[in-house]
Structure 1
Amino acid sequence: MKSGNRLVLTLGVALVVGACLSAPSSAQKIDIAARSSAIAELSRAGKYSQAIPLAQQLLADLEKARGPSDADVAGALNNLAMLYGSQGQDADAEPLYRRSIAILEKLHGLDSSGIAPELNNLAALYQRQQRYAEAEPLFKRALAIREKALGRDHPDLGQSLNNLATNYEKQDRHADSEPLFKRALAIYEKAAGPQHPAVATLLNNLGQVDKVQGRLSEAEPLIKRSLAIREKVLGPNHPDVARSLNNLADLYERQDRLADAEPLYQRALAIRERALGMAHPDAATSANNMAFLYQKEGRTADALPIVERMIAGGNAQPRVALAVLLGAQRQQLMPSEKALDGALNAIQRGTQSSAATAVNKLAVRLAAGNDRLAELVRRDQDLSSEAETLDKAIVAAVSKEPSKRDVAAEQRSRDRLAAIAAERAGLQKTFTSEFPDYAALSNPLPMTAMEIQALLSADEAMVLFAVADKESYVIAITRERFDWKPLPSGAEALSNKVAAFRGGLNVAAASDASAKSGLFDLALANEMYATLLGSVEPLIKDKSSLLVVPEGALTALPFHLLVTEKPAAAIPEKMEGYRDAAWLIKRQAVSVLPSVSSLKSLRAFAHRDQGIKPMTGFGDPVFNPTQENSGGARALTKSASRSVTSAAYTDFWQGAGVDRAKLAQALPALPDTADELNEVAKDLGVSASDIHLGADASETTVKHAPLADYGIIYFATHGLVAGDVKGLAEPSLALSIPKQPSELDDGLLTASEVAQLKLNADWVVLSACNTIAGDRPGAEALSGLARSFFYAGARALLVSHWAVDSEAATRLATSTFQRLKSDPKAGRAQALRQAMLAYLGDTSSPPGDISPRNAYPAFWGPFALIGEGASR
């Protein structure tokens, strides 16, 4: 399901774990078989906390008696992992599943049917963590193994069908999920009878499919039948009974039958608290659902203690917590500041982005200084990143068909992971014994309103957003005051509006002054301002700097292009009309922060070494031999937009070489970027040796350069997002393509390679197209390249929202640096603002232009400043 939906579903998890307990082998001793049976019985009864110590001891005994690579050890690993997962301890479960799979593959081969349960269980873990792309190939491999080994009607095949269908359903892929659920139901009803728990699971899942598509009358009998089977077969207090109760209550709530829903939610909560404990995710889901129902009934006083308990445990859902806390504040059930702090806590725990995590890692390193602690911290972080990459590679390998596996390479990855784990364990001991303050710094708590206010200057305002399915919230904070309001738009509505807003931001739309189709809609820009900021305008409008912490689709919104006053026309009669709009940037400089806590990370610990060089830059890369020493041919592209024609990246390569003709089609030359870099370098007094152009603008140059010696790192080239060039797995910067591509240098500086750079930069300029975008469809827009540069050591980034016009990019970047040089105290955000306003206000037109395109926002407004925008 999408993140905006109620968290009431646990589709298929019961079936996954219930059928995937590994049995002991026939050769095993009777007492071990009995112990395994006892563990399985406790698991079926939902008594996981009693089963775990027994499973731990059984695993230890088997490892001692049989060694670490025995088949029964693999089974014991799987069973213990399953129990951990049932308790919500996925971090403990994941490595056990992987070890179990590795043992079984080594013992029985890559396509053995005995591996399917472990594959299913690991995939189910990824599914719980919303790692659907990683789960899908594992589920598919398990299904293929079972179809081949067992036939199309075996019950275990029904389990695999259910698991894959569940993965589809959680992504709202109803057309893919429903036929698989129905096929699995038919298999189980025939093989196990109509009263089997697996039948109940399938009925529940089909009911969920109907429910989320609005077919409530069709869903109700399915969920009721599922509940009746579970109560009869499993007993009234089993966690699976709570699942059906919860889902039926949600159906009633959707029908506004709140009185019918309440006792079901209450009973589900009681079962989960007793069986699983309050810390379990399912129990937290029930508690949040209970609080939300109370709030809908107008019973804020009943909802409030539940929400406060969830906040204290770090389990509050923002959509629930904010509604209840705002109601409590209005009814004077709690002080305004306490209510806001609770809301900030829920938001910060629930929306920590990968870019924000990277900023915090940077802050930890900076706070550690330049001594031994800083080196150890960086080493630990680098090892963590390497382990994450290896983990993903192993998961990808396990998902493949046997014929496509490289067993030796997989083993090398596992050996390296073991070495990393050992080294990191040693580092943790060093941190504990020698640097006891490090732990507190590396695990920061959510910030309160007072802590945020202390970091804001007198002329700054911060706005942050929490986006939920039906309703969203805006919080505004200045040094003196704060306020927060509900917004009438939910996630889907905001996503649609942002897409429509960005639809007019295309440089090609300004090519014909008489054409209005597809031009930027000023009325929509004003409507979005009113929706997002209108309710807190009195608090923020008089501050010269606005710090924005967006969420969801709002990370793709260029806030500086909001319009603060109703325009005379949605689309002006003449292009000059755009110049007169009340753009937000006319009132305030805008900076974007990846998270609330990143304000502290960037300000409290930011520092710069004395004597650092001003800038190094990379631009005008060579993508094709005909570009070299052929200025006439390259000049033809001089005003080109920095866009990329979609093509398969793999089509460009032929063995160890490259098909330059095809690559040149996708990567047009950018000679303006040389002018851009040279002008900025001249203005900053940068040595010519620090500017790398043409063939010198390569990955090899970047990776060998002493980048930590420069205050500004400047890339003026194409930015490629996953999807811009099909097959590209990571967002990247396009640099000169070598004649012989290698692992060191294949022409694309990927996000993972950026993260390995060592920077000490006040800012990184990515004067390229679309560098703010995410690294996968629907991803947070501040991930990808932004995340990697923050991690590498950048404190601010200048990035672009869309494919920029080269000539405009040159002028905007040069002007920004000129203004920053003449008035360093103004800060980066104000310098960028003044550059944009100067471009917007220029009434001249380039020779041959049929319209004053300077007024059009696609030309003057592509850039955004991410991170620290003030002078520090």
Structure 2
Amino acid sequence: MIRRLVPLSRRLAGALVINGLLFLSWPTGAAEDPGRRDAALEEAIGTADARGRRAEAVELSRELVALRTGVLGADATATLAARLTLSIMLEQAGETTEARALRDAAFDRLAEVDPERLPPILNNTAIALQNTGHPDSAVPVFDRLVAVMAGAGESVPLAITHFNLAALHRDRRDYDAAIAEGRIAAEMFERLEGPDAEDTIVAIGALGQTYGMAGRPAAALPHLREAWTRAGQALGPSDETMRQANNLAAVLRDLGRHDEAEPLDRAALDWRRANLGPAHGATLISARNLALDLIGLDRAEEAAGLYDQVVETLARTRGPDHPETRRIARERDMIAVLTGAAPSGDPGDLAALEAQLTAGTVDADAVYLANRLAGIAERRGEPAAELRLHRLSLDLAERHFGPLHPVAISMATNVARAERALKTAEATPAYSRLEERLRLWARREYASTSDQAVIEQVAATTRETLGDILSYGYAAGRSDPRAIALVARVMLNWKAPGSLERALLDRAAAELPAADRALVAEIRNLTAQSLRPGADRQAIERRLDLAEAALADRVSGLRRLQAQQALDYGEILSAFRPGDAVLDYMTVPMRMAPDRVEERILVMLGRAGGEIRLFDLGPVAAVSELMADSGAAAEEDTRRRLYDQLIRPVMSELDGVDRLTVVPDGLLTLVPFDVLVDQAGWPLIAGLDLRIARSGRALAGGDHDMPQDTDRNGVLLVGDVDYGGTASPLPFTAAEIDGIAATARAGGIPPVVLRGQDARAGAVRRAAAGQRVLHFATHGFFEPLHPGADDPLDRAGVLLAAGDGDDGRLTAAELATWPLDGIDLVVLSACDTAEGDRSYAEGLAGLPSALATAGVRRSLLARWPVSDRGAARFMARFYDHLAAGESYETAFRATKLDVLEGRLAGVPEETWAAFTLIAN
């Protein structure tokens, strides 16, 4: 098995722990004959305990207490140690109540008569209880030890104690407590011994392992990577460095990232072979781990060779009938059958193995064995046995890992697929439970980290399962209304789960206790610090990671947030008027054949009264090819072909619809739906009131035409910016903001105008507070992916005033941290502001997701480059319509129709068609 937690080598010195028993040497100078009797009793107690003779061990321990009481006195430290040994024997015999009372009394007396010896005796008593299988009884002993030691201030022994207590809680599967203690230990070691000390590295790695065991890879990976990196830098190629590589690879493998795990495990195997020898236990672990990586990479023959080496070594060193040899051989044979590296023979009596699993110990091996047995049943064509074994593997996984662990979710997916294959009545409920389980797990992960790469990995991991759920819903929806409702729930909850999760956490923050609100404030402050020029991002992000993980621990159940997400699509559709409809798109990987997964476009059509229909629009690749070139969507021919792909298949279902909301996803967010060209050669907006929403939630309550917010009464206008020579001036932006300011004043709305050198990021942020509308007339940018800037939120933004060390770049990452909650509208009258990287976590990562995360109700952005003059004229007319009392949505469409129907000249098609209004 992989060594999942590495205990520190040092323990507090004190009473001697032998075979799980606590002894204290006979005092020097005491009577010799009683001393021989004392030693004989100690040996007899150890023998009786080792042979399981519990009653005899208790009686012998009572004799030891009586002997020491008579010779040394009741308050002698050795006598009190004997009472503690007796308490352990009573625990072994099931007399827990007497054992704990005896232990507490002994500790109380020790605190009075020998306080210096109390800490080591507490420590070793806890260890003895833990080693003899009584972790629940060990916890209060460790807690007492922490309380005693903390009075003397921070120390390395106190850090060790917190570390050991974390290990104990981990063994008890109380992961929240283990994480809390592990975090204390890691931080204390770092303060006392430095960031590169081996204790610090081990503690950070152990904290990451605990997160991984708790099924929280988003929080685990940063710690594990940090421990591995520090070990490599501080310790070089060493046993500890290889152990950290091994542990990091284990979590990557759990996430299915075998390509990243493989080089880590290969390096560990090579080093261990050379330095520890081919037969060393750690070497064999690395060989098995590498074999599992290779299986995940479809390199079954290489994996089989490694398994053969491990089995041969075990047979030679431990014997062919040793349980470990037989276990690994059985695992090898099963995997060989499943991967096709061996004929579909019988690797053993499956029924007998299943019976052993049902009655045996629940551990990780039992889970994986049940899963492999199910795979063999599938290959044999025994679907009933396969379903039964998948159910067993899920039950075992829930009992061992917990319900919100990637392994348990994987087993739940297998159960749902098997129910579907057999067309049982439980198929839809199984998929519904899977979706809820997946949602709770992903929500916790998004709340645990700000590492964009980890967030994207979590989202990509969930998206493949969502494809399976939607594939089932699409097939079963014709006959099962529950399956349709399941699809609708996926559409509602999974379009941009990262942003939605953060918005919900922010909304819930007001209801949190003061300590948790302080954590939210700390997270926001650290995020802002990390984005400042010259900031020590590594140090800040370390603190940020800990703060976010702490907040996620506090709300680990997240049930309150789930209640906030319980909105049903049927409720949304019930508020529609007869002419309303929504087209909700989602791109998901779907299994089209046993060996072929293809990303496809599904769309859900919803109409008034709750009517829902589903359509499969084919592979995403067809749209990707049309939009492969930057700006391709601006071309009329492309917009015609996109109409044929995305709208025409459902057009016959839109009879009587005059107001259509489109909810795009991923790549489709870049599609200009309102100006797609229909068969008659007209843009859709000419005949349909077509709107864009980030989620179906934006339509909740029938707010298709949300009125302007009367509680806010201001407009902030930013333009005519002095770029300090970093960009070319935009002369028409001056007229743009001046004209809008005049319109606002005439309507009784006081404008705030920032221009020239006054248009700096700090001044803009301060002036934004309390405004109804923010309008930026400036340059926008979205840079292609390049080394050193892989976060799309760092590569998208707008330009503001530059100078005095400020480069003038306001990035999406910075904008996402601004407190813009409740602002009606942000207009970015700038090129490429609706651009972004396709993201499973954010829909489209860039300025659109940044504004949504910041709390803006709707955003008006440009999908591609726009004309300076044309944009100014378009925006002036848009605000004229707003001044006339029209809603934002109506005013936006009316402005486009003014251009289309000849009432507004001087706005090129590539400019007015570029703008999109997105409801968040």
Superposition deviation, residue 597 in structure 1: 3.4
Question: For residue 144 of structure 2, what is the aligned residue in structure 1?
Answer: 61
Return the alpha-carbon distance in structure 2 between the equivalents of residues 508 and 751 of structure 1. 26
Which amino acid in 1 is paired with 2:880?
Answer: Q
Return the alpha-carbon distance in structure 1 between the equivalents of residues 711 and 568 of structure 2. 37
Superposition deviation, residue 182 in structure 1: 1.9
1:38 and 1:557, CA in 2 relative to 1: closer, same or farther beyond 3 A? farther
1:726 and 1:182, CA in 2 relative to 1: closer, same or farther beyond 3 A? closer
After TM superposition, the structure 1 = structure 2 runs for residues 78-89 of structure 1, keeping only pairs within 5 Å, are 78=163
Q: Which consecutive unaligned segments of at least 5 residues does structure 1 have?
A: 1-13, 43-49, 366-373, 429-437, 511-518, 566-579, 625-659, 847-852
2:272–2:282 CA contact under 8 A, matched in 1: no
1:717–1:733 CA contact under 8 A, matched in 2: no
Question: For residue 101 of structure 1, what is the aligned residue in structure 2?
Answer: 186
Return the alpha-carbon distance in structure 2 between the equivalents of residues 581 and 697 of structure 1. 43
1:721–1:771 CA contact under 8 A, matched in 2: yes
Task: Tell me which of 731, 739, 749 is aligned to 1:679.
Answer: 739
Task: Tell me which of 529, 551, 567 is aligned to 2:646.
Answer: 529
Higher relative contact order (CA 8 A, sep 6+): 1
Superposition deviation, residue 395 in structure 1: 11
Which amino acid in 2 is paired with 1:864?
Answer: T
2:528–2:817 CA contact under 8 A, matched in 1: no
Residue 860 in structure 1 maps to residue 912 in structure 2: yes
Return the alpha-carbon distance in structure 1 between the equivalents of residues 213 and 670 of structure 2. 27
2:581–2:605 CA contact under 8 A, matched in 1: yes
Deviation by residue 1:300-330 (Cα, 9 ceiling, x = unmatched)? 4353443344456566953344444455544
1:363–1:605 CA contact under 8 A, matched in 2: no
Moved more, 605-614 or 262-271: 605-614
Which amino acid in 1 is paired with 2:487?
Answer: A
Question: For residue 545 of structure 1, what is the aligned residue in structure 2?
Answer: 659
Question: For residue 355 of structure 1, what is the aligned residue in structure 2?
Answer: 499
- Larger gyration radius, structure 1 or structure 2: 2
**3-state SS of the aligned residue for 2:856?**
coil
Question: For residue 227 of structure 2, what is the aligned residue in structure 1?
Answer: 142
1:842–1:854 CA contact under 8 A, matched in 2: no
2:491–2:584 CA contact under 8 A, matched in 1: no
After TM superposition, the structure 1 = structure 2 runs for residues 703-742 of structure 1, keeping only pairs within 5 Å, are 703-705=765-767, 707-708=769-770, 710-721=771-782, 730-731=793-794, 733-741=797-805
Question: For residue 400 of structure 2, what is the aligned residue in structure 1?
Answer: 275
How high is the TM-score relative to the length of structure 1? 0.68
Superposition deviation, residue 79 in structure 1: 5.6
Question: For residue 364 of structure 2, what is the aligned residue in structure 1?
Answer: 240
1:722 and 1:391, CA in 2 relative to 1: closer, same or farther beyond 3 A? farther
Superposition deviation, residue 714 in structure 1: 0.7
Superposition deviation, residue 110 in structure 1: 1.6
1:262 and 1:737, CA in 2 relative to 1: closer, same or farther beyond 3 A? same
Deviation by residue 1:432-468 (Cα, 9 ceiling, x = unmatched)? xxxxxx9969951422233112333433222334443
Return the alpha-carbon distance in structure 1 between the equivalents of residues 575 and 547 of structure 2. 40
2:122–2:145 CA contact under 8 A, matched in 1: no
1:673–1:717 CA contact under 8 A, matched in 2: yes
Superposition deviation, residue 141 in structure 1: 4.4
1:586–1:837 CA contact under 8 A, matched in 2: yes
After TM superposition, the structure 1 = structure 2 runs for residues 106-145 of structure 1, keeping only pairs within 5 Å, are 106-123=191-208, 138-145=223-230
Residue 613 in structure 1 maps to residue 713 in structure 2: yes
After TM superposition, the structure 1 = structure 2 runs for residues 182-261 of structure 1, keeping only pairs within 5 Å, are 182-188=266-272, 191=276, 196=281, 199-200=284-285, 203-212=288-297, 214-215=298-299, 232=327, 237=361, 239-242=363-366, 244-245=368-369
2:603–2:617 CA contact under 8 A, matched in 1: no
1:347 and 1:120, CA in 2 relative to 1: closer, same or farther beyond 3 A? farther
2:685–2:893 CA contact under 8 A, matched in 1: yes
Return the alpha-carbon distance in structure 1 between the equivalents of residues 172 and 589 of structure 2. 28
Question: For residue 642 of structure 1, what is the aligned residue in structure 2?
Answer: none
Which amino acid in 1 is paired with 2:483?
Answer: A
Which amino acid in 1 is paired with 2:646?
Answer: Y
Task: Tell me which of 19, 25, 36 is aligned to 2:11.
Answer: 25
Question: For residue 896 of structure 2, what is the aligned residue in structure 1?
Answer: 836
1:279–1:313 CA contact under 8 A, matched in 2: yes
**3-state SS of the aligned residue for 1:613?**
coil
Question: For residue 874 of structure 2, what is the aligned residue in structure 1?
Answer: 812
Which amino acid in 2 is paired with 1:66?
Answer: M
Which amino acid in 1 is paired with 2:860?
Answer: L
**3-state SS of the aligned residue for 1:462?**
strand
Question: For residue 485 of structure 1, what is the aligned residue in structure 2?
Answer: 614
Equivalent residues, number: 727
Question: For residue 369 of structure 1, what is the aligned residue in structure 2?
Answer: none
After TM superposition, the structure 1 = structure 2 runs for residues 388-407 of structure 1, keeping only pairs within 5 Å, are 388-389=523-524
Task: Tell me which of 664, 668, 672 is aligned to 2:728.
Answer: 668
1:143 and 1:741, CA in 2 relative to 1: closer, same or farther beyond 3 A? same
2:899–2:905 CA contact under 8 A, matched in 1: no
1:95 and 1:224, CA in 2 relative to 1: closer, same or farther beyond 3 A? farther
Deviation by residue 1:803-861 (Cα, 9 ceiling, x = unmatched)? 4333343333333333444461xx43343334335445669997xxxxxx945xx4332
Return the alpha-carbon distance in structure 2 between the equivalents of residues 394 and 115 of structure 1. 25
Residue 319 in structure 1 maps to residue 473 in structure 2: no
1:776 and 1:585, CA in 2 relative to 1: closer, same or farther beyond 3 A? closer
Superposition deviation, residue 605 in structure 1: 14
Superposition deviation, residue 499 in structure 1: 3.9
Return the alpha-carbon distance in structure 2 between the equivalents of residues 840 and 131 of structure 1. 52
Moved more, 746-755 or 478-487: 746-755
Deviation by residue 1:589-623 (Cα, 9 ceiling, x = unmatched)? 34333333344389599886647435321112111
Return the alpha-carbon distance in structure 2 between the equivalents of residues 561 and 326 of structure 1. 29
1:277 and 1:94, CA in 2 relative to 1: closer, same or farther beyond 3 A? closer
Which amino acid in 2 is paired with 1:293?
Answer: A
Residue 691 in structure 1 maps to residue 743 in structure 2: no
Question: For residue 596 of structure 1, what is the aligned residue in structure 2?
Answer: 696
1:100 and 1:180, CA in 2 relative to 1: closer, same or farther beyond 3 A? same
Return the alpha-carbon distance in structure 2 between the equivalents of residues 271 and 223 of structure 1. 25
**3-state SS of the aligned residue for 2:467?**
helix
Moved more, 269-278 or 749-758: 749-758
2:720–2:734 CA contact under 8 A, matched in 1: yes
1:462 and 1:54, CA in 2 relative to 1: closer, same or farther beyond 3 A? farther
Superposition deviation, residue 204 in structure 1: 4.6
2:719–2:759 CA contact under 8 A, matched in 1: yes
Residue 342 in structure 1 maps to residue 471 in structure 2: no
Return the alpha-carbon distance in structure 1 between the equivalents of residues 256 and 897 of structure 2. 43
1:688 and 1:786, CA in 2 relative to 1: closer, same or farther beyond 3 A? same
2:377–2:386 CA contact under 8 A, matched in 1: yes
Question: For residue 444 of structure 1, what is the aligned residue in structure 2?
Answer: 564
1:560–1:590 CA contact under 8 A, matched in 2: yes
Return the alpha-carbon distance in structure 2 between the equivalents of residues 860 and 179 of structure 1. 51
Return the alpha-carbon distance in structure 2 between the equivalents of residues 545 and 509 of structure 1. 24
Question: For residue 627 of structure 2, what is the aligned residue in structure 1?
Answer: 502
**3-state SS of the aligned residue for 2:729?**
coil
After TM superposition, the structure 1 = structure 2 runs for residues 447-486 of structure 1, keeping only pairs within 5 Å, are 447-470=567-590, 473-485=602-614
**3-state SS of the aligned residue for 1:301?**
coil
Q: Which consecutive unaligned segments of at least 5 residues does structure 2 have?
A: 15-119, 312-322, 332-355, 441-464, 591-599
Superposition deviation, residue 186 in structure 1: 3.7
Return the alpha-carbon distance in structure 2 between the equivalents of residues 80 and 836 of structure 1. 65
Return the alpha-carbon distance in structure 1 between the equivalents of residues 602 and 155 of structure 2. 54
Return the alpha-carbon distance in structure 1 between the equivalents of residues 310 and 612 of structure 2. 46
Which amino acid in 1 is paired with 2:399?
Answer: R
Moved more, 731-740 or 501-510: 501-510
Deviation by residue 1:87-130 (Cα, 9 ceiling, x = unmatched)? 99876665544322211112222211222233324445777999
Superposition deviation, residue 763 in structure 1: 1.4
1:585 and 1:699, CA in 2 relative to 1: closer, same or farther beyond 3 A? same
**3-state SS of the aligned residue for 1:468?**
strand
Return the alpha-carbon distance in structure 1 between the equivalents of residues 701 and 284 of structure 2. 51
Superposition deviation, residue 767 in structure 1: 1.7
